[in-house]
């Protein structure tokens, strides 16, 4: 809805009612029928109508009220807990700053710019440094007591580092990781998933007597009764010293700026970081930093005049689920994809989104025609989070699951959450062969998608093993296969026959066995026969495997038994695995008489320069590492005693960051992980670098 839509008192009254309803949902359980952008536009339209018709203002109007006037608490705040006014563009921010300068009669002494966290505002009261009570903002004058939830809120200490009387004010939210874990827990308890992180935080803070625990995170952004005459930026440092979590620990840390131009630049920087942050933000907050400036500017009934929120485009939007498409992947997995009524999210038009698997659709209770929340952050694939059940009209229809494989028409194995065609890889023979021939697997030059289609459609190849039985005469029958092409392809296939065990294992495309894991498995067992003989417990002993992946792998090895028998008979995958971390028994045998282990067994012996390190590589490598593929980098890490990983987590201990490192570097900085340049890393592992 826009301002021009409110041309009558009736339209205005309807808009007020809709805004109050949306605000009530937003500030209680977070499940609102309007996205942030739609709600903001609605309130602006209401304000514009009221400016033009001041005698028609309704008492329920959300304008000028904290939390849109939608919620009321029963515990009075010591000092009113106000909202913030909003601006929606650089021009509006400049106008607001100019207005504050006019009010003060001069430019503010400085500005503090910090992320606007997308959670619930709370007040945490401490007496003698001990937490006594936690309240929601409510209507700004009084809030709800949610002290029962404090134990599960990380970053909100039970005891401060000093015995002070103070009231911390901040935001409680679910980080991205906490949101995913919360929905995993809820689904395990047969509870509906949270619609999005904000609704999850709202519902969790108010919930009592749940049979499970969900963790949240607190970020302090102000305090009552603490260093009242200090600059706001200095007060934030004081809060961190007291033991409270603040945004200073993030890539979007609060920054003091000296001019409006610097403020605008910092706003752009935080907006650019948005997709890389491990939590949601819906804007950037700009505050006059000096205590005297804040006191001189004062506050209105709803918001302070010395602070404003520069709102960003919403990353959650409401749209309609129009249909579900079913695709078959390389390993026969049948995956659903949501077809959406096009919606613009963070500047990108979204038409499709992931639905994970049929069980997930059932748990979420999705129906065709539902209004659904869709989430997109940066380059993350859009996903449907949950339906707005309250918005149903009765015309919604159940989602029909396929009864046969949508690609080949054969039966479906629905025994697990992820459904598969019973033909497994044979359903997508072309995709399986292209994958197996890839550079990091068997590396068969000349065998791309077009050639693979020819081989399969001609009946010459049905699986990987068939590649090693091809003859010159067979290949010469194919279109555009001359003498030279045939000779080159047969030579590449013959070379592939001698690829090491880890590459042959990776070429099978077993779930959970990518390049790094295949190297670990091959090094751990030493032969395909040993791998096939291993049970789930033995496989789970491989670093990073775990019992669930091991169980899946055992099942797939049984399924692949005929193919593996043929490959073994053809001499594929019998070569020694590439140098990496060998089995402990091999490391011991390889050690010399003096007990010193050679460089290639450093990882197993625990003596390499990366021993105990979990390493992630990101960005473009330079110097001695420039010629290495990502796969070769991972092999280098493992030769030097480390563990290679593709994603940054709390378990990561070292990040090698090249040019354009992007979000992984930002996350590593968030987690205070050691970061090395390519040249620094090359110097660290110099003795393990491949020969030039």
Q: For residue 511, with 0-12 CB atoms within 10 Å meaning exposed, 13-18 middle and 19 or more buried, which class applies?
A: middle
Tokens of 376: 């997109």
Cβ partners under 8 Å of residue 257, min gap 6:
110, 111, 112, 113, 263, 265, 266
**Short-list 335, 367, 365, CA closest to 353:** 335
Tokens of 495: 């070379």
Pairing state between β 674-676 and 654-657: parallel
**Short-list 430, 431, 454, 434, CA closest to 442:** 434
Cβ partners under 8 Å of residue 593, min gap 6:
none
- The conformation of residue 558, written as its DSSP 8-state character, comes to H
Pairing state between β 397-398 and 367-368: antiparallel
As a whole number of angstroms, the distance between CA 105 and CA 100 comes to 8
As a whole number of angstroms, the distance between CA 201 and CA 179 comes to 9
Catalogue the active-site residues.
116
Tokens 């539902």 correspond to 370
As a whole number of angstroms, the distance between CA 228 and CA 460 comes to 80
Neighbours of 3 (CB within 10 A): 16
Specify the DSSP element, H or E, that contains 327. strand 316-328
As a whole number of angstroms, the distance between CA 459 and CA 232 comes to 73
The dihedral through the CA atoms of 534, 537, 543, 544 has a sign that is positive
Tokens of 387: 């339906």
Residue 689 CB-half CA count within 13 A: 17
Q: Bridge partners of 171?
A: 121, 219
As a whole number of angstroms, the distance between CA 131 and CA 236 comes to 19
As a whole number of angstroms, the distance between CA 578 and CA 665 comes to 29
3-state secondary structure of 367: strand
Say if CB 122 and CB 136 are below 8 A apart: yes
- The conformation of residue 193, written as its DSSP 8-state character, comes to P
128-133 contacts: CB < 8 A, separation 24 or more?
128/163, 128/164, 128/165, 129/159, 129/160, 129/161, 129/162, 129/163, 129/164, 130/158, 130/159, 130/160, 131/156, 131/157, 131/158, 131/159, 133/75
**Short-list 542, 550, 528, 548, CA closest to 638:** 542
Question: What is each CA distance from 336 to 211, 385, 412, 418, in whole angstroms?
Answer: 31, 14, 14, 10
Show the DSSP H helices in 534-629 as ranges.
536-540, 546-559, 561-569, 584-590, 602-605
For the chain, how many residues are written?
Answer: 692
As a whole number of angstroms, the distance between CA 606 and CA 474 comes to 51
Tokens of 618: 């990101």
3-state secondary structure of 495: helix
Show the DSSP H helices in 288-420 as ranges.
291-297, 358-364
């Amino acid at each position: 809805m826009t301002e021009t839509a409110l041309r009558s008192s009736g339209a205005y009254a309807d808009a007020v009612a809709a805004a109050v309803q949306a605000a009530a949902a937003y500030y209680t359980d977070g499940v609102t029928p309007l996205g942030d952008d739609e709600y903001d536009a609605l309130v602006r339209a209401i304000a514009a109508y009221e400016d033009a018709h001041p005698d028609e203002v309704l008492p329920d109007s959300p304008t000028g009220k904290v939390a849109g006037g939608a919620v009321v608490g029963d515990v009075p705040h010591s000092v009113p807990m106000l909202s913030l006014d909003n601006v929606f563009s650089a021009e509006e921010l400049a106008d607001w700053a100019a207005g504050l300068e006019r009010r003060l009669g001069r430019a503010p002494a400085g500005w503090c710019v910090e992320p606007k966290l997308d959670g619930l505002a709370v007040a945490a009261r401490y007496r003698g440094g001990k937490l006594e009570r936690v309240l929601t903002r409510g209507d700004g004058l009084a809030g709800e007591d949610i002290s029962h939830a404090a134990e599960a809120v990380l970053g909100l200490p039970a005891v401060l580092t000093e015995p002070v009387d103070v009231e911390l004010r901040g935001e409680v939210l679910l980080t991205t990781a906490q949101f995913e874990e919360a929905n995993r827990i809820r689904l395990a308890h047969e509870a509906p998933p949270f619609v999005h992180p904000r609704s999850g935080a709202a519902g969790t803070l108010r919930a009592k007597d749940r049979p499970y625990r969900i963790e949240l995170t607190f970020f302090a952004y102000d305090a009552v009764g603490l260093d009242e005459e200090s600059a706001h930026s200095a007060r934030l440092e004081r809060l961190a010293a007291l033991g409270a979590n603040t945004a200073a620990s993030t890539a979007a840390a609060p920054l003091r700026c000296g001019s409006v131009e610097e403020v605008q630049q910092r706003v752009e920087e935080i907006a650019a970081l948005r997709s890389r942050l491990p939590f949601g933000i819906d804007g950037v907050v700009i505050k006059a930093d000096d205590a005297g400036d804040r006191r001189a500017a004062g506050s209105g009934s709803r918001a302070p005049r010395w602070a404003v929120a520069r709102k960003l485009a919403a990353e959650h939007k409401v749209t309609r689920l129009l249909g579900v498409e079913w695709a078959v992947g390389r390993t026969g997995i049948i995956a659903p994809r949501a077809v959406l009524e096009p919606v613009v999210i963070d500047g990108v038009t979204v038409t499709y989104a992931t639905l994970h698997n049929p069980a997930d659709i059932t748990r979420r209770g999705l129906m065709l025609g539902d209004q659904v929340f869709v989430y997109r952050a940066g380059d993350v694939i859009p996903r449907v989070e949950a339906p707005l059940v309250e918005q149903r009209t009765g015309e919604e229809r159940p989602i029909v699951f396929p009864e046969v494989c949508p690609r080949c028409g054969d039966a479906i194995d629905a025994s697990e959450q992820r459904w598969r065609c019973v033909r497994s890889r044979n359903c997508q023979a072309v995709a399986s062969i292209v994958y197996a021939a890839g550079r990091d697997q068997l590396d068969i030059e000349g065998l791309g998608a077009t050639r693979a289609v020819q081989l399969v459609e001609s009946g010459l190849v049905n699986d990987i093993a068939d590649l090693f039985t091809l003859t010159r005469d067979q290949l010469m029958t194919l279109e555009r296969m001359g003498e030279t092409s045939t000779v080159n392809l047969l030579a590449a296939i013959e070379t592939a026959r001698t690829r090491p065990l880890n590459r042959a294992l990776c070429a099978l495309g077993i779930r959970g066995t990518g390049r790094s894991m295949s190297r670990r498995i091959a090094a751990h067992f030493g032969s395909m026969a040993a791998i096939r003989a291993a049970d789930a417990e033995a496989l789970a002993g491989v670093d990073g495997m775990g019992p669930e992946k091991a169980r899946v792998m055992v099942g797939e090895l049984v399924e692949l038994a005929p193919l593996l028998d043929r490959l073994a008979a053809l001499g594929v995958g019998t070569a020694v695995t590439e140098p990496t971390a060998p089995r402990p028994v091999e490391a011991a045998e390889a050690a010399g008489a003096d007990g010193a282990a050679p460089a290639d067994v450093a990882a197993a012996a625990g003596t390499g320069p990366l021993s105990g390190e979990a390493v992630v590589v990101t960005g473009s490598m330079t110097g001695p590492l420039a010629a290495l593929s990502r796969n070769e980098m991972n092999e280098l890490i493992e030769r030097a005693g480390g563990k290679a990983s593709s994603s940054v987590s709390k378990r990561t201990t070292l990040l090698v960051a090249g040019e354009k490192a992007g979000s992984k570097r930002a996350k590593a900085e968030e987690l205070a992980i050691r970061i090395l340049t390519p040249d620094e890393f090359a110097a660290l592992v110099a003795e393990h670098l491949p020969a030039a």
